[in-house]
């Protein structure tokens, strides 16, 4: 792909309510995933791996966590003299005062338009973060160039039983063209259907067309999300539908976030996501090696660096800098960066956010569909402080 | 910040005593402790001491070292007004700038040093494992109004026979230097760390190379000459953890010490971090059948076997039924199934075939070289 011929907009303004409390202070795209990554790393890496050098990241609020993660974009090779990384915070209209909101009418898409115009790119791709995958955007561009419709969308063919209410699906013609994007529940798939085209929320079109869509939305005075505009564009123009066949995780609520983390403990999924020819980039950290003490048992699990493991860990995703004390038993858990687990504590089906301290000899237990969540920075030393979900 | 002090790391030695491990790479580039290379300690010390301009003098097999250092950004040494410069021999109208000894290496790079125009020159080796504040040493150097300050470490009488020993008076002024003495008079061994007043050293070197060319080595030539000319030479005593890892045995030993949570090096101290080239790799994966005790493991390792009191570096895999004991495995090495690795150093990208045995002893460490293939039958 010629340098600069494609630009990318990664949209972090995504529904976050069902992921609370994990999303209380971070956008969905900043959710930690897979031992050392954030969801944002996946679409960003897809862009980088396709040689895209103009990337805009829109975030709902201040984007502190986003800019702390991305900084200059160096870790993604985006601190270039041409193009680079552009941050665009404060896009969550719920947080905007009414008088400010009034001034945004006819101007809500100005920054995106400016970014696109200055990118001098021929094509643009719009992505979000809650469909984790490792997609080949070069192949997507080829597919687009070979076809006639102005927009190309991406879908993953899935068993309809696995669809969640939050998913949208593409309505495909016999020739594989998408004519609509609709919520899974409204799609009225025949009961016998074995496959559904799950929308991956990735849209590719010419930059000129995207600017036109945004200009028009400005003229109309729209204040709706980029994603919504993209769906409208599919319905309006019909779209080419590109099938993605790699690993995908579908993250919409706590159960699906938990399941997605558990799914990469399956070695085939782990390798498909992380060891393809397209690497996943993230912020680099200088951590010391993880130490596994005498008597520790760490099995069927992932671990970041900087950890200190004395206890037993089974089938869990352990992030960087986690301390697991002697005699603790951890099973089916997601434990994020900087958390400490006391001696003799038993943990099962639990998500523990960053920098949590769990005291000794406690029992934390959730279920696979309702994992117990301990939110960021909590210190828990008494069993009565644990709200169990069963 | 030390705008006045330029750091020079001597990284050109062949490191012949590391045998196979330095056949294709410079000693400072040899992996250490799972996610470091030996030179990371010195480079991080510079960064943490505020020595922001550093020249790394290379000569022997520099490619891996160059790739590792890059623009110095991984150590925060991609400074706007300084940064890391890798100095390689080049040819000029005066001939080729290869060098013989430590002082000669400085002389051959005199143009680079003059460009930086430092007041003080900090000369370091790239093959030691330690955490040291060079800024504190500079304070000492200034307080003593020294012309040269030599970093020294206390050693036993037995060890003294392997070092250049500094005999001092009660003010720590060095009055005598003895290279590898049979009967040491002090316990102060040179660490190969020097702070020179640059204009003075420059004079000595330029005069020497204009006449008898005698200033080849700091220990053998420069220090004795300084003492003979009554320059004020002081010993700066370093009390922390320090290891020379110039031999297979000492490299293995320092790695085993590194494994201990009580190691005096205190690698986890965030106030004095050791940085290394940043690499983005997936997290480590330990399977259902793994058994890991007393060991350090880093990103992108895959363990299905047993690892006991050992260090695995990035991208190392250990197959099912294998046992790695008292060993250090360097990046990218692949260990097959039912393999035994015991008291060994395994080189980068080495391949150990199924059922192979690599077994050394505590006094005779087994070594597998870089890219070496053990126990795989050729098709």
Are the C-beta atoms of B287 and B317 separated by less than 8 Å?
Answer: no
CA distance to partner chain B, nearest, from residue A223 (Å): 38
CA distance to partner chain B, nearest, from residue A303 (Å): 5
Are the C-beta atoms of A230 and A7 separated by less than 8 Å?
Answer: no
Among candidates B73, B288, B298 on the partner chain, residue whose Cβ is nearest the Cβ of A305 = B298
Q: What is the mean pLDDT of residues A57-86?
A: 85
Query: Tokens 């949570």 appear where?
Result: B261
Q: For the ranges A21-35, B207-221, B242-256, B305-319, which has the lowest average pLDDT?
A: B207-221
- Whether residue B294 and residue A288 make contact (CB cut-off 8 A), yes or no, is no
The whole-number pLDDT of residue A96 equals 81
Give yes or no for residue B82 having a pLDDT over 80: no
Among candidates B261, B288, B299 on the partner chain, residue whose Cβ is nearest the Cβ of A300 = B288
Q: Does B357 touch chain A (CB under 8 A)?
A: no
- Per DSSP, helices labelled H in chain B are 39-49, 63-69, 102-108, 110-116, 134-143, 157-160, 198-210, 223-228, 248-259
Q: Does B80 touch chain A (CB under 8 A)?
A: no
Q: What is the mean pLDDT of residues B312-326?
A: 98
Question: What is the C-alpha end-to-end distance of chain B, expressed in Å?
Answer: 59
The whole-number pLDDT of residue B121 equals 97
Nearest-angstrom CA–CA distance, B316 and B305: 12
Q: Specify burial of residue A90 (Cβ count, 10 A radius: 0-12, 13-18, 19+).
A: middle
Helices (H) and strands (E) in chain B, counts: 9, 31
Give yes or no for residue A95 having a pLDDT over 60: yes
Q: What is the mean pLDDT of residues B222-249?
A: 95
The whole-number pLDDT of residue A237 equals 86
Which value, in Å, is the radius of gyration of the alpha carbons in chain B?
22
Binned at pLDDT 50, 70 and 90, residue A121 comes out as very high
- Whether residue A292 and residue B268 make contact (CB cut-off 8 A), yes or no, is no
Looking at every residue in chain B, the average pLDDT score rounds to: 93
Give yes or no for residue B171 having a pLDDT over 60: yes
Residues of chain A above pLDDT 70, percent: 98
Residues of B in contact with A281 (CB under 8 A): 280
The whole-number pLDDT of residue B378 equals 62
The whole-number pLDDT of residue A4 equals 58
pLDDT tens digits, A14-52 = 999 999 999 998 999 999 999 999 999 999 999 999 999
Classified as helix, coil or strand, A91 is: coil
Q: Does A108 touch chain B (CB under 8 A)?
A: no
How far from B345 is each of A61, B64, B228, B256, B286, CA to CA, in Å?
Answer: 51, 19, 44, 11, 22
The whole-number pLDDT of residue A390 equals 46
- Whether residue B286 and residue A294 make contact (CB cut-off 8 A), yes or no, is no
Q: What is the mean pLDDT of residues A256-262?
A: 97
**For chain B, the helix, strand and coil percentages under 3-state DSSP, each to the nearest 5:** 25, 30, 45
Give the DSSP letter string of A115-161: HHHHHT-SEEEEE-SSEE----HHHHHHHHHTS-SSEEEEEEEE-GG
Q: Does B294 touch chain A (CB under 8 A)?
A: yes
Residue of A nearest to B277 (CA): A286
CA distance to partner chain B, nearest, from residue A270 (Å): 9
Residues of B in contact with A292 (CB under 8 A): 292-297, 307
Nearest-angstrom CA–CA distance, A236 and A179: 8
Binned at pLDDT 50, 70 and 90, residue B2 comes out as low
Give yes or no for residue A181 having a pLDDT over 60: yes
Q: Does B34 touch chain A (CB under 8 A)?
A: yes
Give yes or no for residue B148 having a pLDDT over 80: yes
Q: Does A272 touch chain B (CB under 8 A)?
A: no
Q: Does A294 touch chain B (CB under 8 A)?
A: yes
User: Checking phi first, is residue A331 left (phi over 0); if not, alpha (psi -120 to 50) or beta?
Assistant: beta
Predicted structure pTM score: 0.93
- Write b or e for each residue in A200-232: b if 16 or more Cβ atoms lie within 10 A of its Cβ, otherwise e: bbbbbbebeebbebbeebbeeebeebbbebbbe
The whole-number pLDDT of residue B178 equals 92
* Extended beta strands in A165-284, E state: 168-172, 177-183, 196-206, 239-243, 249-250
Residues of A in contact with B278 (CB under 8 A): 75, 284-286
Residue of B nearest to A34 (CA): B283
The whole-number pLDDT of residue A358 equals 97
Three-class SS string for B50-105? CCCEEEEECCCCCHHHHHHHCCCHHHCCCCCCCEEEEECCCEECCEECCCCCHHHH
Residues of B in contact with A35 (CB under 8 A): 282-283
- Whether residue B282 and residue A304 make contact (CB cut-off 8 A), yes or no, is no
Nearest-angstrom CA–CA distance, A315 and A308: 17
**For chain A, the helix, strand and coil percentages under 3-state DSSP, each to the nearest 5:** 25, 30, 45
Among candidates A286, A291, A297 on the partner chain, residue whose Cβ is nearest the Cβ of B273 = A286
Q: Does A276 touch chain B (CB under 8 A)?
A: no
Nearest-angstrom CA–CA distance, A189 and A268: 30
Give yes or no for residue A353 having a pLDDT over 80: yes
Classified as helix, coil or strand, B226 is: helix
The whole-number pLDDT of residue B379 equals 61
Q: How many CB atoms lie within 10 A of CB B99?
A: 19
Q: What is the mean pLDDT of residues B73-80?
A: 84
User: Checking phi first, is residue A73 left (phi over 0); if not, alpha (psi -120 to 50) or beta?
Assistant: left
Residue of B nearest to A319 (CA): B283
Q: Which residues, in sequence order, are bridge partners of residue A124?
A: A7, A205
pLDDT tens digits, A191-201 = 788 899 999 99
A residues 24-53 closer than 8 Å to B (CB): 34-36
Residues of A in contact with B292 (CB under 8 A): 292, 296, 298
- Write b or e for each residue in B341-376: b if 16 or more Cβ atoms lie within 10 A of its Cβ, otherwise e: bbbbbbbbbbbbbeebebebeeeebbbbbbebbbee
Q: For the ranges A230-239, A309-318, A337-346, B135-144, which has the lowest average pLDDT?
A: A230-239
Q: Does A69 touch chain B (CB under 8 A)?
A: no
Classified as helix, coil or strand, A19 is: helix
Give the closest residue to B107 by CA, choosing from B121, B119, B93: B121
CA distance to partner chain B, nearest, from residue A281 (Å): 6
Q: What ipTM goes with this model?
A: 0.91
Give yes or no for residue B1 having a pLDDT over 70: no
Looking at every residue in chain A, the average pLDDT score rounds to: 92
Element (H, E) at B133: none
Element (H, E) at A374: strand A372-374
How far from A260 is each of A33, A278, B290, B311, B373, CA to CA, in Å?
Answer: 8, 20, 23, 31, 38
Give yes or no for residue B77 having a pLDDT over 80: yes
Question: What is the C-alpha end-to-end distance of chain A, expressed in Å?
Answer: 52
Q: Which residues, in sequence order, are bridge partners of residue B295?
A: A292
Residues of chain B above pLDDT 90, percent: 77
Among candidates A274, A279, A289 on the partner chain, residue whose Cβ is nearest the Cβ of B296 = A289
């Amino acid at each position: 792909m010629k340098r600069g011929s494609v630009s990318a907009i990664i949209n972090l303004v995504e529904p976050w309510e069902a992921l609370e409390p994990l999303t209380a202070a971070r956008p969905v795209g900043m959710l930690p995933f897979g031992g050392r990554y954030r969801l944002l790393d996946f679409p960003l890496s897809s862009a980088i791996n396709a040689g895209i050098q103009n990337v805009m990241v829109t975030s709902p609020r201040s984007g502190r966590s986003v800019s702390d993660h991305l900084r200059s974009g160096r870790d993604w090779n985006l601190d270039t003299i041409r193009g680079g990384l552009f941050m665009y915070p404060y896009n969550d209209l719920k947080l905007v005062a009414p008088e400010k909101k009034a001034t945004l009418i006819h101007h809500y898409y100005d920054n995106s338009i400016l970014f696109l115009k200055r990118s001098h790119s021929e094509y643009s791709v719009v992505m979000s973060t809650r469909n984790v995958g490792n997609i080949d955007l070069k192949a997507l561009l080829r597919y687009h160039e070979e076809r006639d419709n102005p927009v190309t969308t991406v879908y993953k063919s899935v068993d309809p039983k696995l669809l969640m209410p939050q998913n949208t699906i593409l309505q495909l013609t016999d020739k594989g063209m998408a004519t609509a994007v609709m919520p899974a529940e409204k799609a009225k798939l025949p009961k016998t259907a074995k496959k559904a085209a799950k929308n991956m929320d990735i849209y590719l079109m010419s930059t000129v067309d995207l600017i036109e869509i945004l200009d028009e939305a400005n003229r109309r005075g729209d204040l709706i999300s980029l994603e919504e505009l993209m769906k409208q564009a599919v319905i309006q123009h019909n779209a080419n539908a590109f099938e993605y066949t790699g690993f995908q995780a579908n993250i919409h609520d706590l159960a699906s976030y938990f399941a997605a983390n558990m799914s990469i403990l399956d070695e085939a999924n782990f390798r498909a996501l992380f060891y393809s020819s397209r690497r996943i980039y993230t912020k680099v950290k200088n951590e010391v090696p993880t130490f596994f003490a005498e008597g520790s048992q760490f099995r069927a699990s992932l671990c970041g660096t900087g950890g200190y493991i004395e206890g037993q860990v089974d089938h869990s995703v352990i992030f960087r800098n986690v301390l697991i004390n002697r005699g603790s038993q951890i099973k089916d858990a997601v434990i994020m960066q900087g958390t400490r687990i006391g001696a003799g504590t038993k943990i099962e089906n639990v998500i523990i956010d960053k920098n949590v301290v769990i005291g000794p000899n406690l029992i934390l237990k959730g279920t696979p569909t309702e994992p117990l969540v301990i939110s960021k920075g909590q210190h828990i030393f008494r069993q009565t402080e644990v709200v169990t979900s069963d | 910040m030390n705008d006045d002090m330029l750091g020079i790391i001597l990284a050109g030695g062949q490191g012949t005593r590391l045998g196979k491990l330095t056949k294709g790479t410079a000693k400072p580039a040899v992996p250490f402790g799972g996610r470091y290379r030996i030179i990371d300690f010195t480079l991080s010390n510079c960064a943490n001491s505020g020595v922001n301009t550093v020249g790394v003098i290379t000569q022997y097999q520099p490619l891996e070292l160059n790739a590792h250092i890059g623009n110095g950004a991984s150590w925060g040494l991609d400074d706007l007004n300084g940064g890391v410069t890798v100095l390689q021999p080049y040819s000029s109208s005066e001939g080729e700038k290869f060098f013989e000894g430590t002082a000669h290496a400085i002389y051959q790079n005199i143009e680079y040093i003059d460009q930086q125009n430092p007041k003080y020159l900090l000369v370091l080796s790239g093959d030691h494992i330690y955490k040291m504040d060079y800024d504190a040493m500079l304070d000492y150097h200034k307080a003593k109004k020294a012309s040269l300050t030599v970093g020294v470490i206390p050693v036993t009488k037995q060890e003294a026979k392997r070092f250049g020993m500094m005999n001092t008076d009660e003010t720590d002024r060095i009055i005598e230097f003895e290279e590898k003495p049979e009967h040491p008079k002090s316990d102060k061994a040179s660490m190969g760390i020097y702070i020179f007043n640059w204009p003075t050293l420059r004079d000595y070197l330029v005069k020497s190379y204009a006449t008898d060319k005698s200033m080849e080595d700091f220990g053998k030539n420069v220090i004795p000459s300084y003492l003979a000319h009554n320059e004020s030479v002081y010993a700066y005593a370093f009390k922390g953890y320090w290891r020379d890892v110039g031999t297979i045995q000492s490299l293995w030993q320092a790695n085993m010490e590194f494994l201990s949570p009580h190691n005096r090096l205190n690698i986890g101290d965030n106030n004095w971090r050791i940085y290394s080239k940043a690499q983005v790799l997936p997290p480590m994966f330990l399977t259902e059948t793994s058994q890991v005790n007393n060991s350090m493991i880093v990103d992108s390792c895959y363990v299905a076997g047993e690892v006991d009191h050992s260090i695995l570096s990035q991208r190392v895999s250990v197959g099912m039924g294998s046992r790695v004991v008292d060993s250090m495995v360097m990046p990218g090495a692949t260990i097959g199934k039912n393999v035994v690795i015991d008291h060994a150093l395994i080189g980068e990208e080495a391949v150990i075939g199924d059922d192979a045995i690599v077994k050394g002893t505590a006094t005779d460490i087994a070594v597998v070289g870089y890219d070496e293939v053990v126990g795989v039958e050729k098709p």
